[in-house]
Structure 1
Amino acid sequence: MSDQQSNELIILRPPTVADGADLWRLAEGTGVLDTNTPYAYLLWARDFAGTSVIAEVEGEPAGFITGYRKPTDPSTLFVWQVAVDSRFRGRGLAKKMLFDLVERTADDVSRLETTVTIDNEASLALFGALARAHGTEMTRTSLFTEDLFPHQEETGEEHAAEDLYTVEPLHAPAT
């Protein structure tokens, strides 16, 4: 990280409806996330802001994480999407956002779940770092196999299996 990068103003905050289009642009810009409609990101920013985060670097949208508390288990935070604009990668921004989100929800959340494709090394490293910081393990179980997704002929692309990764218990990291 250059000295200039270390002095950058980074703001982490819950998204607002005004951020919905930026969330969509960031997701679309990754080239790897399943991009939802812009409308979905507007709803997400309205209804799940408390369990999501947007990062601004020098006032510019640089990344986001969307998450929600599972309706069947509100003590579980499910992290749905993590996006960092390519211009801001390699600076630990995803880790900063994830740790901020977990800290912000710590009073109500004791477990984190996410789904990740087996080839997504960056996400596996990110959630592994969270597990280590909380002195616990990350476990993996099969969840959404390829056959559950629409066929490639329908969507134009094949979707890899999404395994469920769980980090629990979440508790104050050791100092």
Structure 2
Amino acid sequence: MLNRVMSTPASSTSNCKRVEEELWEFRKPSLMDGDNVYELIKRCPPLDTNSAYCNFLQSSHFNNTCVVAQCDGEMAGFISAYIKPDKPNELFIWQVAVSPDYRGKGLAFQMLNEILMRDGMETVNVIETTITKDNQGSWALFRKLDRQHGQNGEVSTFLDQEKHFKGKHDTEYLYRIPLNLNA
């Protein structure tokens, strides 16, 4: 069983949770969320802004592995992820976006755990993500997840700044974290 961080439910029929004095909802995104996801990511440098169409696809085709966090109805966070097609036990976390207004509350970690607790995620035993050298928020998030699961993660170069991006983008480092299902 995964060791997961959760807040106390506000009610048994809702996926809303109280965090301090705020009412939070963690849910799968829907097609109607695509534009709000796009606008959120635009406000979250250093994240790459993809097309709005991409965010609509994430919010519909990949919504089982993505999560929206809302505070009192406002979109405060979003994680896009997918099960790797050739490795159904591996979840790739594409982007983690937390509105600047909601940072420092552990929201990204809660969203990540929300995805891992969903039905259908029981077979996931590895998480992968890519992070640029200067994205300290993502490094902190995934190091925390790695510590929670026995600190067996490995970092390697995935996409090299010169070799793959021809100098137009920073190197993306692959962080591979085996999940200790007994943690």
- Interval of TM-score (by shorter of Structure 1 and Structure 2): 0.7 to 0.9
Q: Which runs of 5+ in 1 are unaligned?
A: 152-157
Give the 3-state SS of the residue equivalent to 1:35 in structure 2: coil
TM-score, normalised by the number of residues in structure 1? 0.88
1:165 maps to a residue whose letter is: Y
Distance 1:31 1:72 in 2: 31
Q: CA deviation at 1:119?
A: 1.5
Aligned positions of 1:1-175 closer than 5 A:
6-104=20-118, 106-147=121-162, 148-149=164-165, 151=167, 158-173=168-183
Alignment CA distance shift 1:7-1:166 (3 Å): same
Give the 3-state SS of the residue equivalent to 1:40 in structure 2: helix
Q: Does the 8 Å contact 2:46/2:135 carry over to 1?
A: no
Distance 1:17 1:172 in 2: 35
Alignment CA distance shift 1:170-1:50 (3 Å): farther
Give the 3-state SS of the residue equivalent to 1:165 in structure 2: strand
Distance 1:81 1:98 in 2: 11
Distance 2:75 2:44 in 1: 13
What are the superposed Cα offsets for residues 95-115 of structure 1, whole Å, 9 maximum, x if unpaired?
A: 110111122253131100000
Q: Which runs of 5+ in 2 are unaligned?
A: 1-17
Q: CA deviation at 1:5?
A: 6.2
For these two proteins, the number of residue pairs brought into alignment is 164
Q: Does the 8 Å contact 1:26/1:83 carry over to 2?
A: yes
TM-score, normalised by the number of residues in structure 2? 0.84
Give the 3-state SS of the residue equivalent to 2:59 in structure 1: helix
Q: Does the 8 Å contact 2:161/2:170 carry over to 1?
A: yes
Identity %: 38
Give the 3-state SS of the residue equivalent to 2:155 in structure 1: strand
Alignment CA distance shift 1:51-1:170 (3 Å): farther
Q: Which structure carries more helix by proportion?
A: 1
Distance 2:147 2:95 in 1: 21
